[in-house]
């Protein structure tokens, strides 16, 4: 009897071991399935809501987790400098940032060149000639016109001078001190038209401005609600409100406009395996999948890659961007904005 009891006990213990082992292996397999094949770190100046969309979509499609580190431009450049002079492979494999930050990083030697087939299709205006950075999309400033106002006018202004001379018009604009995209408009107009002409345009516009808003979306909402007739606004917000049914129409300034260009660059001294993965992610950002992921969450940017469906569906094929680089120091930009405050905003 004792012999049978021992055998039963031994069998029971073996069964427990088998069950426990199977559960462990099944769990391990499940964890392995859920765990990304690889992770890469990307420094970025983009808002958290944008990068959250991108990393979720890319991980779902490719099994690679992109760990974005949002940083102000100055801190981002400092991090890249530390990595470049560390003497060993660093944390960041890639940078996703505005063109100005990328240009500074490239000039300082913090980036390495990379140009793929997808990147080679991008217009020269949106990439560094030696491949140190490549633009992936941009967001231009447009005239966002209320359709009811449009019906009352024989001619809608389609240049900055026309807008400045337009009579009996209510204008909405984001304060130049409140958002980078808005400040970039003033600085770019100074570079394109000269400071005298740029300030003259805004002196004429100032009495017609209903409100200097704090957010980029506010002038668009005002135009959609009929609180202003024309909003000087980023196109991404304009399209978002149009998709929501607001009666708006986009007019592209015929004499050119400013835009915030977002692009990628490969970080110097990145770990080789991570750098290869970063290049694949950079190419993905130039394709339709990235644009679709953003558009599904109501973010509408203009892709730089003419080979994408998103670009071919873009309505503003005749969009003209300013062609004079706004190559000013931080102090010069500060002085331009300060002059606008004193001579226009609060005069």
pLDDT tens digits for 255-313? 999 999 999 999 999 999 999 999 999 999 999 999 999 999 999 999 999 999 999 98
What is the separation, in whole angstroms, between the first and last Cα of the chain? 106
pLDDT tens digits for 80-134? 999 999 988 899 999 999 999 999 999 999 999 999 999 999 999 999 999 999 9
| Average pLDDT of the chain, as a whole number | 91
Chain centroid, CA 204 distance in Å: 31
Q: Which fold has domain 139-258+323-344?
A: D-Maltodextrin-Binding Protein; domain 2 (3.40.190)
Query: pLDDT value at position 13?
Result: 42
Query: pLDDT value at position 7?
Result: 42
Are 149 and 208 contacting, i.e. CB atoms less than 8 angstroms apart?
A: no
> How far apart (Å, rounded) are the C-alpha atoms in residues 232 and 246?
16
What is this structure's pTM? Answer: 0.88
pLDDT at 166 over 80: yes
To which residue do tokens 């969009």 refer?
319
Query: pLDDT value at position 141?
Result: 98
The CB-side HSE value for 123 (13 A sphere, CA atoms) comes to 11
Provide CB contacts within 8 A for 277, sequence distance 6+.
38, 40, 64, 93
Q: How many CB atoms lie within 10 A of CB 316?
A: 13
> How far apart (Å, rounded) are the C-alpha atoms in residues 57 and 213?
33
Given CATH 3.40.190.10, say whether it is the number of domain 38-138+260-313: yes
Domain 38-138+260-313 and domain 139-258+323-344 have a common topology: yes
Domain ranges of the chain: 38-138+260-313, 139-258+323-344
């Amino acid at each position: 009897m004792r012999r049978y009891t021992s055998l039963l006990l031994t069998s029971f213990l073996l069964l427990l071991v088998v069950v426990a082992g199977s559960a462990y292996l099944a769990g391990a397999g499940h964890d392995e399935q859920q765990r990304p094949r690889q992770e890469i770190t990307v420094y970025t100046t983009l808002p958290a809501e944008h990068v959250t969309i991108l990393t979720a979509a890319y991980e779902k499609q490719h099994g690679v987790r992109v760990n974005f580190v949002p940083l102000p431009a100055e801190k981002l450049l400092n991090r890249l400098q530390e990595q470049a002079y560390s003497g060993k492979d660093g944390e960041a494999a890639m940078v996703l940032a505005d063109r100005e930050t990328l240009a500074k990083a490239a000039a300082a030697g913090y980036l390495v060149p990379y140009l793929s087939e997808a990147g080679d299709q991008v217009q020269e205006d949106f990439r560094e000639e030696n491949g140190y950075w490549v633009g992936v999309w941009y967001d231009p400033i447009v005239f966002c016109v209320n359709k009811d106002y449009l019906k009352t006018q024989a001619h809608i202004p389609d240049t900055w001078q026309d807008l400045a001379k337009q009579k009996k018009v209510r204008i909405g604009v984001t304060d130049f001190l409140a958002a980078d995209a808005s400040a970039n408009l003033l600085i770019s107009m100074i570079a394109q038209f000269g400071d005298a002409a740029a300030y003259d345009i805004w002196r004429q516009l100032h009495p017609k401005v209903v409100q200097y808003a704090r957010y980029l979306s506010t002038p668009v909402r005002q135009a959609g609600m009929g609180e202003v007739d024309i909003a000087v606004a980023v196109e991404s917000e304009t399209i978002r409100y149009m998709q929501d049914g607001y009666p708006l129409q986009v007019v592209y300034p015929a004499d050119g406009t400013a835009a915030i260009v977002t692009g990628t660059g490969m970080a110097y001294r990145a770990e080789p395996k991570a750098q290869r993965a970063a290049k694949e992610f950079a190419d993905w950002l130039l394709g339709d999948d990235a644009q679709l992921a953003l558009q599904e969450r109501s973010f509408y940017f203009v892709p730089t890659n003419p080979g994408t469906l998103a670009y071919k569906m873009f309505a503003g094929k005749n969009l003209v961007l300013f062609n004079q680089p706004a190559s000013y120091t931080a102090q010069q930009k500060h002085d331009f904005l300060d002059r606008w405050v004193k001579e226009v905003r609060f005069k």
